[in-house]
Chains A and B, each alone.
Chain A
């Protein structure tokens, strides 16, 4: 009975409901005997996603003619994200930071972890993502989570981190 912690990017893609790999992973999870109870998110994930959407909303309000996404569409996105987060909050599946996670987060803050974006740009992993990884490493009730995230070479350099790449479960 493994438990899974979805990365913020995976949660972001699920909320879009556009048949992206993270959503297909969730659909395929039924056949693998994974229940909704087995899937959690980090406490920083709602913050991370809301921040991204608020940035887009601010840009769209400031310069509507140049905005990549119009305001009503971003509002739809925010509403849908909030509903999704409420589902996790209701069942106590948003994992708060406790002292054990904080200790592991401290270890990760001292590590240089570099991710690559789809366009090939390299960037240092932000501290919020390190909280997610620390949460996956510590887990809940002495059982670490499997971290559900798209492939990054840097995952292999994080001791003890079990990762599942949703792209492997894609129907495409």
Chain B
């Protein structure tokens, strides 16, 4: 388990039993190492420009903590929502930076669709004939 995951685990274990807790525990099991450094507030105050520059150069994230540690939420300089953390794990796991913190229920995909005419119910996708030999749709580009 990565250091990041171990750090989060302490908080997650205190969550009430819920679907989200199970999701977290599962995500932490597959979470790869995430380069994230907890920096004391004193150091951040003195060298914020340096930290920002290093973050840009190395892509490493920093959490600025009061008194050098985060032992409760009030001590954190900023707080990530659980959805954002799950998304962060997800994006690192997939090696993509395009992922955003959007966790919509699956059925939300249906929200923008209206029932089409009933005559379409039995319409099926037909295999394309001669697709290998001819291809195209009678118009190319």
Chains A and B bind each other: yes
Within 8 Å CB of B124, what residues of A?
9, 12, 117-118
Within 8 Å CB of A84, what residues of B?
109, 112-113
58-89 of chain A: CB within 8 A of chain B: 68-69, 73, 76-77, 80, 83-84, 87
Give the interface SS of chain A, mostly helix, strand, loop or mixed. Answer: helix
Measured between C-beta atoms, what is the minimum distance from B35 to chain A in Å?
A: 18
Measured between C-beta atoms, what is the minimum distance from A121 to chain B in Å?
A: 10
Within 8 Å CB of A56, what residues of B?
123
In whole angstroms, what is the CA distance A91 to B98 when docked?
A: 8
A-B contact pairs, 14 of them (CB 8 A): A1-B30, A16-B115, A17-B115, A30-B105, A36-B103, A37-B99, A51-B137, A52-B125, A69-B117, A73-B119, A91-B102, A92-B99, A126-B128, A140-B94
Q: Mark B85-123, 1 if CB is under 8 A from A, else 0.
A: 000001001111011101111111110111111111101
B residues within 8 Å of A by Cβ?
Answer: 19, 23, 26-27, 30, 90, 93-96, 98-100, 102-110, 112-121, 123-128, 131-132, 137
Give the interface SS of chain B, mostly helix, strand, loop or mixed. Answer: loop
Measured between C-beta atoms, what is the minimum distance from B104 to chain A in Å?
A: 4
Tell me if A15 is interfacial: C-beta within 8 Å of chain B: yes
Interface size on A, residues (CB 8 A): 51
Within 8 Å CB of A154, what residues of B?
none
In whole angstroms, what is the CA distance A141 to B124 when docked?
A: 32
Closest B-chain residue to A87, C-beta based?
B109
Measured between C-beta atoms, what is the minimum distance from B98 to chain A in Å?
A: 5
In whole angstroms, what is the CA distance A20 to B93 when docked?
A: 34
B115 pairs with A36, CB closer than 8 A: no
In whole angstroms, what is the CA distance A91 to B93 when docked?
A: 16
In whole angstroms, what is the CA distance A125 to B137 when docked?
A: 20
